[in-house]
Structure 1
């Protein structure tokens, strides 16, 4: 399980930094969406039977940069789909304030 604190994240760069630190990405991580996808679909440096990624305090990032937030969720979903094909669960949980859930319904 990996907890990614997004309390101070407002943009793509901040998100990529936060997730790379929380998940201890390798030095070759390129801090872009493609590199994130590569790391999330590899995970060879942390072999496990399954993975849970918790995005804590996601409200600020989602509101400050909705396009980047949607892209991040899309990359995470694609990684989850890839792992599912191999029978390995990868779950992403999005933590928000209880009154801040409406925007999640708008993400496609």
Structure 2
């Protein structure tokens, strides 16, 4: 389970840093939406049976750059769909 600090996610750097730290993203992570999407859909490096990312107080996410908020939730939705459809 990863509980991200929403107060630290007011801008893109904060979002990427929180995911990088809490989900131990690989060193080749590209610090952009496509890279985050790719890494979230390939969590095998964590060797867990299940994955849970808690996003509370979502209104704080990207509060400094609200134009990026749609991309953030699109990336999360894509990752969720990918894992929901993954073979058991």
If each structure's strand is expressed as a fraction of its own residues, which one has the higher value? Answer: 1
TM-score (norm 2): 0.85
State the match for 1:27 in structure 2.
Answer: 27
State the match for 2:73 in structure 1.
Answer: 73
TM-score (norm 1): 0.71
Q: CA RMSD in A?
A: 1.7
Please report how far the alpha carbon of residue 40 of structure 1 lies from its aligned counterpart in structure 2 after TM superposition. Answer: 0.6
Could you tell me which runs of 5 or more consecutive residues in structure 1 were left unpaired when the two chains were aligned. Answer: 89-108
Could you tell me which runs of 5 or more consecutive residues in structure 2 were left unpaired when the two chains were aligned. Answer: none
Higher relative contact order (CA 8 A, sep 6+): 2
**Structure 1 stretch 29-38 or stretch 45-54: which is displaced more?**
45-54
Question: After TM superposition, where is structure 1 displaced by more than 6 Å over at least 4 residues in a row?
Answer: none
Q: Look at both structures and tell me which one has the larger radius of gyration over its CA atoms.
A: 1
